[in-house]
Structure formats: structure tokens, C-alpha cells
Structure 1
Amino acid sequence: MTVPAFNSVAWFEFGTDQPEKVKEFYGELFDWKYVLNTNLPGVNYHAVLTPGAQQPAGGVWESAGAFPSYAIFYVLVQDVAETARRAEELGAKIVMEPIADAAGITFARLEDAAGNHFGVFSTPAQ
């Protein structure tokens, strides 16, 4: 298994109030499989397994209409808080402050200087 390098795109996510439609579409198109992720209590989230992958590469967040639909990419970083701080210095806005899930994955969402949304995340030290 290859571990993604820091500062590379290593995760994607869909937020939708139509999760079954999203999962069916991408499942049929790319043969993706889905596994329920329970690391965020109260959040309906399915990890995406792409063909040949040994671990998930993305996710589908079931919004239940709580927010508009979106697709976003996440960059793997060493320190989410420091990356968010540096991004702000470069003109970004923090859309979602850094938080950690039950597995110790920390993530945040940002808006770059041109208004594009993206995310950053880090995994627990091993």
C-alpha cells in the first residue's frame, strides 16, 4: 500500500441530500463500493472504495438538506491548524475550523483567495 505524500490531494468528498443517487451513479460509472463510517457520531457518512484500493479514497456525506450539495478535494498535510493559519495569511478564509473525528483524523475546510473551496486533513501519528 502506498501512503500519499504530504501536500498532495488524498481524499474527495460529496455532500448531498441525495446520497443513494450519488452512490448509485458513481458506483455504476466507476464501480465504486461504499462502507458506512461511524467515526463522526450523528453524521451519516459512507467511505468510498475505488477499484483495487485497499483503503477508502473519499466519502459521501448525507446532508439531509442541512447544506447545499458539493464536491470537494482534501490535501493531506502535517498540521491542519498551521496549514489553515498559513492559508489565511495568503488570503484564504476558514470555512470550517479544524475538528477531529473519533479515529483521530483532523480536517478543516477553506476558501482560497479566488473563492474556491477545498479541504485539508491529517492522520494520527503512527
Structure 2
Amino acid sequence: MTTTGDSPAWPAQWLRGVLDLAVLAVVARGETYGYRIGADLAALGLGAVKGGTLYPLLARLEDAGDVTSTWREGESGPGRKWYAITPAGARRLSEEGAQWRTFAHLTSDLVHEVPTAGGTR
């Protein structure tokens, strides 16, 4: 694993597999906006998620009915699009989150069972 600044640079295929759920989990914590979602994901250890990845993902989540968005004028700066999770998004997070936890547990167990250099477990 490499790092970018203080954040790990996880393999892209790992992030693609979990980024929808990670974004839903961040939005489920309370209404938020795109830049803050990216900052929260980085702070949680997922690394930097570029806007070219994050904003299309948010649009797909909105199209799927998992989040809603509202435009708000900024108090001391530009306006922002704020996102909130919908009941359908909360259900998806719950169901797919449970599946992900099972998958991650199984994968972790499998990786820990990798034979040593001598060929024994």
C-alpha cells in the first residue's frame, strides 16, 4: 500500500467495491455536502476521493432514490448542494452493509489462511 499525504492509497478496485456504501454511510450521519463527504471519507482512512469520482457517484445515488439533494446559498461563500439519505437509501445501507460485513469477514479469514512459504497453514 502506498500513501498520499496522511491517507493510504488503497487499490482502486477495492474502493470501487465499497465506495457507494461508504458514501451512503457518511450521508446517513446527517445532511452534508460533497466536499465534506470527501473530507470525511479521507478522515476515516479511505484516502482522497476525487470530485470526478464523488460527484457522479452522488448523482447515481440520487437517481436511484438513495439520497436527495437541495441547493443552499452559502452564508459566507458559494452555495452548496446538500445531500440527505432517503428511507430507500437507509434500507440499502442496512442490507448491503450486512452483506459487505459478511464478505469482508470471509475475505479476511481467507487471506489469513494463506499458506506460509513452506506450504503449511
TM category (shorter chain) comes to under 0.3
TM-score w.r.t. length of structure 2: 0.25
TM-score w.r.t. length of structure 1: 0.25
Q: Which structure has greater helix proportion?
A: 2
Q: Highest CA radius of gyration, 1 or 2?
A: 2
